[in-house]
Amino acid sequence: MQVTLDKIYGFVIQYGINFIIAVVIFLIGKWLASVVSERLEKGMVKANMDKTLAGFFKDIIYTGFLVFVVVTALGQLGIQTTSFVAIIGAAGLAVGLALQGSLANFAAGVIIIMMRPFKVGDNIETSGASGIVKEIQIFNTILEGSANRQIIIPNAKITSDKIIILRS
């Protein structure tokens, strides 16, 4: 009986400390991810970055940081993390390929928001459409055309085509 209790005590000492350290790593990492992402968002907003874009980057940074923290905590528990990293990489590649068109529109939206080739209220002609810019969104731009037509153009089309700004 004493041998069994000694084995259990040894097991608890060996893995209990690692478990406590893993929980501490997770809690501190989660808190740090929250603080870092919040401060980066505030900095981006202060730098006059679009609030939607800043919020999106905040979420991406928080999620990436949290994944890193979880993998680190699992490594502290003695779990081999190389397979997790490979799975995360493969999932990222699959998502990237599946969202290829959306990611192109997102990247183009970031370019339009950052470079400001035109602004809301400008009368533009692009991608075979013309009208007054009503809204610049992260994935598309909305124009008001003639006869009260609303024209929604994917941002990737706008950045890959010429943009004519019509002056009155």
pLDDT tens string 101-141? 888 998 999 899 888 899 899 999 998 999 999 999 888 99
User: Per DSSP, what are the bridge partners of residue 106?
Assistant: none
Q: Using 50, 70 and 90 to split pLDDT, how confident is the model at 168?
A: low
- Residue 78: inside a domain, yes or no? yes
- Residue 124: inside a domain, yes or no? yes
Final residue of a structural domain among 41, 63, 98: 98
Check whether residue 93 and residue 123 sit in a common domain: no
Q: pLDDT over 70 for what percent of the chain?
A: 99
List, in sequence order, the alpha helices (H) in 47-160: 51-76, 82-98, 100-115, 155-160
- Residue 104: inside a domain, yes or no? no
Give yes or no for residue 10 having a pLDDT over 70.
Answer: yes
- Residue 135: inside a domain, yes or no? yes
Backbone φ, ψ for residue 134 (5° rounding) = -100, -35
Q: Using 50, 70 and 90 to split pLDDT, how confident is the model at 54?
A: confident
Check whether residue 48 and residue 88 sit in a common domain: yes
Residue 97 one-letter amino acid: L
- Residue 132: inside a domain, yes or no? yes
Domain count, the chain: 2
Give yes or no for residue 165 having a pLDDT over 80.
Answer: yes
Largest CA distance in the chain: 94
Check whether residue 40 and residue 85 sit in a common domain: yes
**Mean of per-residue pLDDT scores for the chain:** 88
User: Both tokens of residue 20?
Assistant: 């406590």
Q: pLDDT over 90 for what percent of the chain?
A: 45
Structural domain boundaries, residue 123: 118-166
Element (H, E) at 142: strand 140-144
Check whether residue 132 and residue 73 sit in a common domain: no
Final residue of a structural domain among 40, 63, 98: 98
